[in-house]
A and B are shown apart, each in its own frame.
Chain A
Amino acid sequence: IDISLNLCAEAYIPQKYPDNRIVSSKYTFWNFIPKNLFEQFRRIANFYFLIIFLVQLIIDTPTSPVTSGLPLFFVIAVTAIKQGYEDWLRHKADNAMNQCPVHFIQHGKLVRKQSRNLRVGDVVMVNDGETFPCDLIFLSSSREDGTCYVTTASLDGESSHKTYYAVQETKGFQTEEEIDNLHATVECEQPQPDLYKFVGRIHVYQERNEPVVRSLGSENLLLRGASLKNTEKIFGVAIYTGMETKMALNYQSKSQKRSVVEKSMNVFLVVYLCILISKALINTILKYVWQSDPFRDEPWFNQKTESERQRNLFLKAFTDFLAFMVLFNYIIPVSMYVTVEMQKFLGSYFLTWDEDMFDEETGEGPLVNTSDLNEELGQVEYIFTDKTGTLTENNMEFIECCIEGNVYVPHVICNGQILPNSGGIDMIDSSPGVSGKEREELFFRALCLCHTVQVKDDVLVDGQKKSPDSSRSCIYISSSPDEVALVEGIQRLGFTYLRLKDNHMEILNRDNDIERYELLDTLSFDSVRRRMSVIVKSASGDIYLFCKGADSAIFPRVSEGKIDQVRSRVERNAVEGLRTLCVAYKKCTQEEYDEIHELLHSAKVALQEREKKLAEAYDQIETNLILLGATAVEDRLQKAGIKVWVLTGDKMETATTLFKLLKTSLRVLSKDEDLAFIFYVSCRLSNDLQDFGLIIDGAALSLIMKPRQTGSSGNYRELFLEICRNCSAVLCCRMAPLQKAQIVKLIKLSKEHPITLAIGDGANDVSMILEAHVGIGIIGKEGRQAARNSDYAIPKFKHLKKMILVHGHFYYIRISELVQYFFYKNVCFIFPQFLYQFFCGFSQQPLYDTAYLTLYNISFTSLPILMYSLMEQHVTSDMLKRDPSLYRDIAKNALLRWRVFLYWTFLGVFDALVFFFGAYLMLENTTVTINGQVFGNWTFGTLVFTVLVFTVTLKLALDTHYWTWINHFVIWGSLIFYIIFSLLWGGIIWPFLSYQRMYFVFIQMLSSGPAWLGIILLIIVSLLPDILKKVLCRQLWPTATERTQTKHQCLSVEQSTIFMLSQTSSSLSF
């Protein structure tokens, strides 16, 4: 078999096909180190630290290269090990995949080979339950009708069995020999990642005849990764192999979303980089001003070497600048990146561990697909939610049908279950005429035939053949749950859909006779047309077209039937909140059908714009229909489903009214729930808010969104945006997936750049989920596509509340404190060093010892903040859940605003001034020991450093509101570690060090009384302003959070007992 990939111009270009190896691994054994290093240093932060390290290596800098090399090495090594391990796992998985045996046909014989040896054009045999080794064109199947069932669960998460069709001309080839004799050419498009699109054609050469041309569509293409079900074996020809398979093409990482916190962090980094550069510049300039006196530059006691003297002035100035940069580079700490990454990664475990968000029914807990956006959950201002399946349980119930104005209500019908007293029909308004009777029969048959439901074949699974009578208990599978509800509903009314066999649909009618209809064509459903049709040929030779769809899609195409009665019934049902569908039919003659078939065929064979041509063909065919009736299906709301708006952070009263409003509007507007799309706009924080709701449907929206040619394009959009923003709730119904994304984008890009969250469960929500700042998927019944493409996935909509109000809030306050604190502690750390330059002749003399410089961020002050950022709960989670107004306190990135950032920075500068000048005044030109001996510069630095470590750790202790034993352990532990380390570091002559400058410095310092007094004094003075600010703000301008905390504290005694109770009973109450 020849395969040619066809380009648009239909010109044949010889192709080089890849082999069937899947390579998901990034590295090989040989290129791991260089490639991984390259990848890592592409990150701007790592690159910056590398530059600092290299500068330290090359020029004579004040601190040894170890101080920045060690942390950098640590970070790089940890990341490399992690990535290496992940890649090793990928290699293993790749190998397993590439080496798994595949049966394929060679010279008429069945050969086993490894999957990686497969080439394009090979004919492959796949047995039941196996996965396809590459993308195959389906040639023939062991089933006589040339179909096979496939589940694509691992590709798109759709667990239903899909039917694929063999190429008509080849479906008869059943043995290896027959297959081997096949001569055919396949033309197809270049590989592309869309799983549901494929166009191609096959030319089958039969002896000396003209080759037969057949169109190939996605229904003929078996995708790699999907697996064969309920079919003994199939033959297929490999068409895309290896990295060109659709599965491999889909494994591209999604575009990275960045959280606001990360953005502010980057801005702060730039600020600090500017501070760093200006510090270094100031010092360099001052150095040369100061040195202009020769006796200062080179006094007799401190001569330069000859080479230093001869160096060019500008070169000297430049190296001095670099040396200052190196000296102050700790102001941008490597460890912050590591800590932030660790915090995000470890922190996201708390989400997956949360028991309250575990769904007993499905056995699923929340999934975290990216931990980059944890804190964004605390910043959400707008929530966009899809209604179907998200707010509702997606558990459909057939309520009634209306045929020609007669309403039929089955007694009790429940999804998937047969209740004993079912089967009867209540006839309301029963006056069926003769034609009515005929229409009624047609209506039921239409519902029985016009669908894409599959029957789960229990026969093959169980191995024991059941009599056709017992097939009432068979299980229907479909990608759309309301189709199942409809077929089951019709079953209750006496018509049972049995199966699709050899292109014949079998139904069991009321008289228990099997009727067979030949399925001629299916005009499949899509969300633009919002209807589907089947063309069937009955046993008596009549050809019918049955069409089923949304009322708005059907009514314009109907030429006959009791339109008004049906319409009124449909509208009544819609107001009731039911999903309605209309059914119509058309009878064709053989000639008409031939025409239709020709039209469809030409559209299907087209290689270009096949979609468009098909749509046009469908449009032509589905006209002049005769209306039969309508159905109504109820989709139950999820329990405790719609309480979202509370979290948008408004007052209780507003929330309550909103609740009512939404409740009513939901009832009114769920006319066409299939496409209904709701989004709640966060209540604006102003108090004069009035609770307006806006309701708009997709058609109107597309008018609004359509750019106007007259140049006033923006007007409608902006007006709409303005209206939307002043409404507390907006409902959009009948939206196409792309429109959903458009709405999200509209809000996202509006003036204030609000943070949006989109939540949905179906494939049609994916675009919106990808568009929004945070995308949440519901692990629901409509498959896993939404969950796979989302950033977070939760089992039920109700879990969103805890996710945002509690976890989001926690994540946000934790990471914002982490970021601010990191900058603060490094200002405290580096600013004294900057000040010291003014007292050491701008000679880049470091204030602290190398060990302190290196370990400050790595070990002395790292764990407390990491633990804080994992454990902190400023308010209990119950409180956060109970009082959504607390969410308002952190809205709009409140804790990382410039004001807050400046406060932290100035606090850092103040503390640094206190440390430095405190130590200066204490040690300047005096002795502080009882034996009159004097201290040197290293004691000075150690004193400052001791105060520094204690102050920044205690500052964190002041900010900690939730002291578990872990916090106690790390905070006091790291202080004790600092002391023990200093004692050890100064207690021994370290043989590997070339200098012994710290020998006994720390111990000597502690032996001096005034040093103790000074340390205590300086710590208290440094902490005083922060304590004062905290107390005054709480007293005079308390935030909602602080009020809650205070209230909570008043009740603390009782609370603790309640807390214990709730802990034990939690498994019962949630």
Chain B
Amino acid sequence: MAINYNAKDEVDGGHGSNLVVGSHTGPGNAIGGSGPKSRRPDNTAFKQQRLPAWQPILTAGTVLPAFFIVGLIFIPIGIGVFVTSNNIREFEIDYTGTDEKDPCNKCLFWNDTKPCICEINFTLEQPFEGYVFMYYGLSNFYQNHRRYVKSRDDSQLNGDTDSLKNPSKECEPYRKDGDKPIAPCGAIANSMFNDTLELFQMNESSLIRVPLHKKGIAWWTDKNVKFRNPPGGNLSEVFKGTTKPLNWPKPVYELDEDPENNGFINEDFIVWMRTAALPTFRKLYRLIEKKGVLHPTLPVGQYLLRITYNYPVHTFDGRKRMILSTISWMGGKNPFLGIAYITVGSICFLLGVVLLVIHHKYGNRNNSADIPN
């Protein structure tokens, strides 16, 4: 035995001094040089792969209750969501005016310097209670086109003076007008929705204007943190040296009279700047506050929508809509979630039953098959 031990020492020594050349050397070699004593592995649970462990197995038996539970939870949720969604009042009106008979048809090819104004009558057959939200909707408008999405300068919108004077290259070709930088630059800002929608309740012969609130339509964080006017007192002073986007009739500091809603922090502007995910989208336009418990915000009756039609969409086959909607805890009308929950719940329940049958029918066979093995 003495021979062997001597031999081992030599071998180990040899290993230490010669490096094995090769792309992959396993840990064996790394350990090899450290002498015979440390070669004995530790008897720890981790190294011996014996860590205490929970060993769950998905069998019909364990999954069955889960299926039933999912079914039992999902179906009521689905029904609840579905009912809630159905209780939401929503009214939508397309005012694009591509049809000859549409009142707005005249605005499609408007050549006058005065803005085109068209009026649409409609009837609400059910009362709208609580807060009512007015949206404008656009279709076939690719706000999610890559060239469009990136065509903005967030630091300019955040009030950075350097970016104000020298907007990001991403804004091309809406970066500069001549020598003057555009504020706000980019395609998104340039194509801001600029129709004006006014709502009137028709009461026999008189028109009662429905008060539309333009505050609270943008995310609070956008309005207060992400979008900021450049520092300085007077907005027109601050924006001096910049020019308005090409399509805008007015510069950015004249969007609104209210200084809290002017410049980059104009809420209509902020809403527009949040690019939509899909080519058919709606954006929040105005809020209609509730009148009180007794009166519906928008009672049943005749209404008139007056549109200052500025925004051209027919050139790209687009549509424009005005949407009135009430809101529940789950937002606007959306039957999908409710139906999906009910469907999935039922499927789970059904699968549970099927599995139960299979479990009983085949379970015994398996147990008996186990025995000879």
Chain A: residues with CB nearer than 8 A to chain B? 24, 62, 89-90, 93, 96-97, 151, 153-155, 157, 159-160, 225, 227, 251-254, 256, 295-296, 299-306, 345, 348-350, 352-355, 358, 362-372, 416, 456, 475, 477, 781, 784, 793, 810, 839-841, 843-846, 871, 873, 876-877, 885, 918, 920-937, 939-941, 958, 961-967, 989, 993-997, 999-1000, 1004, 1008-1010, 1013-1014, 1017, 1020-1021, 1024, 1027-1028, 1030-1032, 1034-1036, 1038, 1040, 1043, 1045-1049, 1052, 1059, 1063, 1066-1067
Inter-chain CA distance A781–B8, complex, in Å, is: 10
A50 to B134, CA, bound (A): 50
Distance in angstroms from B26 CB to nearest chain A CB is: 3
Contact code string B224-242 (vs A, CB < 8 Å = 1, else 0): 0110000000000000000
Produce 1/0 per residue, B328-372, CB < 8 A to A.
111111101100110010011001000100110011001001100
Contact present for A153 and B282 (CB under 8 Å): no
What are 28 inter-chain pairs, A to B, with CB distance below 8 A?
A: A24-B21, A90-B19, A153-B10, A154-B11, A154-B14, A159-B3, A159-B6, A299-B142, A352-B26, A353-B47, A355-B47, A355-B48, A841-B142, A885-B373, A925-B137, A927-B331, A932-B217, A932-B327, A934-B276, A961-B55, A995-B150, A1000-B221, A1020-B70, A1027-B58, A1028-B351, A1035-B358, A1038-B366, A1049-B57
C-alpha spacing A304/B70, complex, angstroms: 51
**Are A1035 and B363 CB-contacts (below 8 A) given A24-B21, A966-B51?**
yes
Please name all residues of chain B whose beta carbon is closer than 8 Å to the beta carbon of A296 when the two chains form the complex.
Answer: 142, 316
- A360–B295 Cα gap in the complex (Å)? 91
Docked pose: A991 CA to B6 CA in angstroms: 66
Kindly name the residue among B271, B274, B282, B287 whose own CB sees the greatest number of chain A CB atoms within 10 A. Answer: B274
Q: Are B359 and A253 within 8 A (Cβ)?
A: no
Instruction: State whether A1017 touches B22 (Cβ < 8 A).
Output: no
Segment among B31-39, B99-107, B203-211 that sits at the interface with chain A: B31-39
Kindly report which residue of chain B lies nearest to residue A348, judged by CB atoms: B26
Minimal beta-carbon separation of B142 from chain A (angstroms): 5
Is the beta-carbon distance between B144 and A840 smaller than 8 angstroms? yes
**Are B10 and A151 touching (Cβ within 8 A)?**
yes
Question: Is B21's CB under 8 angstroms from A253's CB?
Answer: yes
Within 8 Å by CB of B362, from A306, A1000, A1035, lies A1035
Q: Is the CB of B277 within 8 A of A936?
A: yes
CB-CB under 8 A from B19, the residues of chain A are: 24, 89-90, 93
Q: Is the CB of A154 within 8 A of B53?
A: no
Judging by beta carbons under 8 Å apart, are A922 and B336 in contact? yes
Given contact pairs A302-B142, A370-B24, A1035 touches B337 in the complex (Cβ within 8 A): no
A301 cross-chain contacts in B, Cβ below 8 A? 141, 148, 187, 190-191
B42 touches A353 (CB 8 A): yes
**B25 is an interface residue with CB less than 8 A from chain A:** yes
A372-B24, A927-B284 given. 17 additional CB < 8 A pairs? A155-B14, A301-B141, A354-B41, A358-B41, A365-B40, A369-B20, A370-B24, A840-B142, A843-B145, A928-B331, A932-B331, A963-B53, A1021-B344, A1035-B363, A1048-B55, A1049-B57, A1066-B50
Inter-chain contact A927/B327, CB cutoff 8 Å: yes
Closest 3 CB pairs of A and B: A154-B14, A159-B7, A368-B26
B55/A1052 in contact, CB under 8 A: yes
Q: Which residues of chain B are near A305, meaning CB under 8 Å?
A: 172-173
Give Cα A964 to B54, complex, Å.
7
Residues of chain B lying within 8 A (CB to CB) of residue A966: 51
Asked whether any CB of chain A lies closer than 8 Å to the CB of B124, the reply is no
Supposing A352-B27, A925-B282 touch, asked if A362 and B8 sit within 8 A by C-beta, the answer is yes
Please state if B48 and A1066 are interface contacts (CB–CB under 8 Å): yes
Question: Among the interface residues A97, A256, A367, A941, which one has the most CB atoms of the partner chain B within 10 A?
Answer: A367
Interface contact B142-A1036, CB-CB below 8 Å: no
Chain B residues contacting A961 (CB-CB under 8 Å) are 55-57
Q: Which of A160, A365, A996 contacts B154 (CB 8 A)?
A: A996
A993 to B154, CA, bound (A): 9
Q: Are B279 and A934 within 8 A (Cβ)?
A: no
Tell me if B65 is interfacial: C-beta within 8 Å of chain A. no
Known pairs A89-B19, A994-B155; A840 contacts B146 (CB<8 A): yes
Q: How far is the CA of A367 from the CA of B43 in the complex (A)?
A: 18
Task: Please give me the residue from chain A that is nearest to B77 by CB atom.
Answer: A1013
Q: Are A369 and B149 in contact (CB under 8 A)?
A: no
Residues of A within 8 A of B277 (CB): 839, 923, 935-937, 939-941
Question: A251 and B363 in contact (CB under 8 A), knowing A153-B7, A963-B54?
Answer: no
B128 within 8 A of A: no
- The docked-state distance in angstroms from the alpha carbon of A155 to that of B10 is 11
Residue from the set A841, A1031, A1063 with the largest chain B CB neighbour count within 10 Å:
A1031
Q: Does B23 contact A (CB under 8 A)?
A: yes
Contact A994 B154, beta carbon cutoff 8 Å:
yes
| A154:B15 contact, CB within 8 angstroms | yes
A937 touches B144 (CB 8 A): yes
* Contact A937-B142, Cβ < 8 Å, known A253-B23, A929-B331, A1017-B341: no
Chain B residues 266-284 with CB under 8 Å of chain A are: 271, 274-284
Known contacts A225-B18, A1035-B359; decide if A964 and B52 are in contact (CB<8 Å). yes
Contact status of A367 and B55, CB under 8 A, knowing A934-B283, A1067-B43? no
Asked if residues A839 and B59 are in contact (CB atoms below 8 Å), the reply is: no
**Smallest CB separation, B166 vs chain A (Å):** 13
Q: Which A residues are CB-close (under 8 A) to B25?
A: 369-370
The answer to whether the Cβ of B219 comes within 8 Å of any Cβ in the partner chain is yes
Chain A's closest residue to B32 (CB) is A367
Give chain B nearest CB distance to A226 CB in angstroms.
10
- Asked whether any CB of chain A lies closer than 8 Å to the CB of B63, the reply is yes
CB < 8 Å: which of A839, A926, A1014 contacts B279?
Answer: A839
Chain A residues near B217 (CB-CB < 8 A):
932-933
Asked whether B111 is an interface residue with its Cβ less than 8 Å from the other chain, the reply is: no
B131 CB–A CB distance under 8 Å: yes
Q: A369 touches which one: B2, B26, B70, B316 (CB < 8 A)?
A: B26
A168: min CB distance to chain B, Å? 30
B158/A302 in contact, CB under 8 A? no
Chain A residues within an 8 Å CB radius of B281: 925, 934
Known contacts A353-B47, A369-B29, A843-B146; A931 and B216 CB within 8 A of each other: yes
Chain A residues near B47: list those with CB within 8 A.
Answer: 349-350, 353, 355
Which residue, of B52, B172, B277, B279, has the highest number of chain A Cβ atoms within 10 A? B277
Q: Are B146 and A295 in contact (CB under 8 A)?
A: no
CA distance A935 to B144 in the complex (A): 13
Report yes or no: B341 in contact with A1047, Cβ–Cβ below 8 A: no
The complex places the Cα of A353 from the Cα of B81 at a distance, in Å, of 56
Can you name the residue of chain A whose Cβ is closest to the Cβ of B88? A926
Contacts of A964 in B (CB 8 A): 51-53
Q: In the assembled complex, how far is the CB of residue B247 from the closest CB belonging to chain A, in whole angstroms?
A: 8
Residue of B nearest to A254 (CB): B22
Residues of A within 8 Å of B149, CB to CB, are 845, 937
Q: Which residues of A contact B191 (CB under 8 A)?
A: 300-302
Complex contacts, A993 vs chain B, CB 8 Å: 154
Pick the residue among A62, A295, A781 that contacts B317 (CB under 8 A).
A295
Q: Which of B133-179 contact A (CB under 8 A)?
A: 133, 135, 137, 141-155, 158, 168, 170, 172-174
**Known A1032-B358, A1067-B43: A1010·B11 in contact at CB below 8 Å:** no
**A154–B340 Cα gap in the complex (Å)?**
71
A963 to chain B: which residues have CB within 8 Å?
53-56
Q: A963-B56, A1035-B362, A1043-B373 are in contact. Are A937 and B276 (CB under 8 A)?
A: yes
Answer whether residue B315 sits at the interface, using C-beta atoms and an 8 A cutoff: yes
CA distance A1004 to B146 in the complex (A): 23
Q: How many Å from the CB of B69 to the closest CB on chain A? A: 11
CB-CB under 8 A from A349, the residues of chain B are 27, 47
Chain A residue contacts of B276, Cβ below 8 A: 934, 936-937
CA distance A133 to B148 in the complex (A): 72
Whether the pair B45, A1063 counts as a contact (CB closer than 8 A) is yes
Knowing A367-B29, A781-B4 touch, does A871 contact B146 (C-beta < 8 A)? no
Is there an interface contact between A1034 and B60, defined as CB atoms closer than 8 Å?
yes
Most buried by A among B3, B55, B147, B275: B55
